[in-house]
Amino acid sequence: MENLSTTVNDLFQKAVQNEQILRRYQQFELKLLDHAGFEELLDMLLRNAVDHFQLDNVELWLYDPQDTLVELLPENYLNLPELHLFSKSVPLDQLYGKHPSVRLVTTGDGTPLPVFEGEHLRSAALIPLVRHGVLVGSLHFGSRGHQRFTLDKSTDFIDHLASIVSVCLENAVNLERLHRLSMYDMLTKVKNRRAFHQALDKEVSRAGRSGDPLSLLFVDLDYFKQINDTYGHPMGDKVLKEVAQYINEMLRKTDHVCRYGGEEFALVLPNCGQQRAMEIAERIRQQISQLMIANDDAEEDGCKEVSVTLSMGVCCWLPMNDFEEGSEDDIAKELIACSDQGVYLSKAAGRNCVHYIDLAEPETNSSMKV
């Protein structure tokens, strides 16, 4: 009788424990399903999961054969030690073999864990992420305690979590792709015109609040039609791509490089006053004029390298104390009109130069040429 009562008591304790674990997993899954984007999902998996499940570390391996994730993820995520992207499926296949299922591994028998390299963890749950029958990744929960993930533990909850994580990741990648398609220029990989207007509006509001100066640079390639006509359209595309990427690399992460139209780019430089904006514009103008772009399809006696020059217009807004909220639209429009006028003057002055237009008095043509 006493035995029976102990058994019933044990079973009851076990049921209560399972109920708590189930609730913990469900709470986490609901948060995952509610994520606001790829970055937030990764934060939840790599950071929040550690506290939520009282782990010592979490690691995520993802199969990325076409560098899709490398392109989609911001650099600070690519450098996370907990995130590993693989262009080959071998490391994942080695973890699970032909039929991926959750694995609980410990160092109890003296063998090191197959994951969490260089860390002193003693047990781990290896959670395969499978979509449409393909092993697309592996999530690892690690613990310093060698009893945490032992073979006698049930994996039902983890199996369920694996399905949710797999769907959420797929969803996040697709959403991020769509976002990119709608905001980025596919040829040059910089922001498109729609994203430019959004960025400019946002930066005008921000500058209005902070009082920091904001500069806008318009950049137009000179005689670009000739490049197309002489070397062909694909070479023209390559010139656009290289110029965009070169400018992108010359600027800060917080600046916005956008393709405004065919061969015209707009650069939004937050917290940048007139003098700095002119120095930056001049540096870009000079360096691009020295850039030699390889013409891969050149004939034997043809031109092996192509160069291009830029005409630029610069304008700067220094918010005054009397700046009224709600007038952001007008400021953005004036910045665009002035920068555009600067380009016009640079073209008229013979190209390959920079003109500054004063936002306060564009009509009086207080332009400054470099």
Ligand X SMILES: Nc1nc2c(ncn2[C@@H]2O[C@H](COP(=O)(O)OP(=O)(O)OP(=O)(O)O)[C@@H](O)[C@H]2O)c(=O)[nH]1
The residues that touch ligand X, with contacts defined as CB under 6 A, are: 187, 220-225, 228, 233, 236-237, 240, 262-263, 347, 351
**Nearer Cβ to ligand X, position 88 or 225?**
225
Q: How far is the CB of 310 from ligand X (least distance, A)?
A: 10
Residues 6+ apart with CB under 8 A from 60: 42, 45, 46, 82, 83, 84, 137, 138, 139, 140
Q: Which is nearer to ligand X, 87 or 226 (CB)?
A: 226
| Residue among 162 and 235 whose Cβ is closer to ligand X | 235
Q: Considering the complex, what minimum distance in angstroms separates the CB of residue 226 from ligand X? A: 6
H or E stretch at 264: strand 264-270
Closest residue by Cα to residue 170 from 18, 63, 299: 63
Q: How far is the CB of 223 from ligand X (least distance, A)?
A: 5
Q: How far is the CB of 175 from ligand X (least distance, A)?
A: 27
Nearer to ligand X, 315 or 343 (CB): 343
46 versus 310: smaller Cβ distance to ligand X: 310
Minimum distance from CB of 236 to ligand X (Å)?
3
Say if residue 337 is exposed, middle or buried (CB neighbours under 10 Å; 0-12, 13-18, 19+).
middle
Kindly report the backbone phi and psi dihedral angles of residue 129, in degrees, each rounded to the nearest multiple of 5, phi listed first: -110, 115
Cβ 227 to ligand X shortest distance, Å:
8
- Residue 144 or residue 233: which is nearer to ligand X going by CB? 233
- Give the tokens for residue 65: 């054969």
Partners of residue 310 on adjacent β-strands: 221
From residue 109, alpha-carbon distances to 102, 116, 150, 236 in Å are 19, 17, 11, 63
292 phi-psi bin (left φ>0, alpha ψ -120 to 50, beta other):
beta
The structure tokens 């994996």 sit at: 155
Say if residues 356 and 315 touch (Cβ distance below 8 Å): yes
Q: How far is the CB of 246 from ligand X (least distance, A)?
A: 17
Helices (H) and strands (E) in the chain, counts: 12, 13
Check if the beta carbon of residue 159 is closer than 8 Å to that of residue 24.
no
Which residue lies nearer to ligand X by CB, 44 or 235? 235
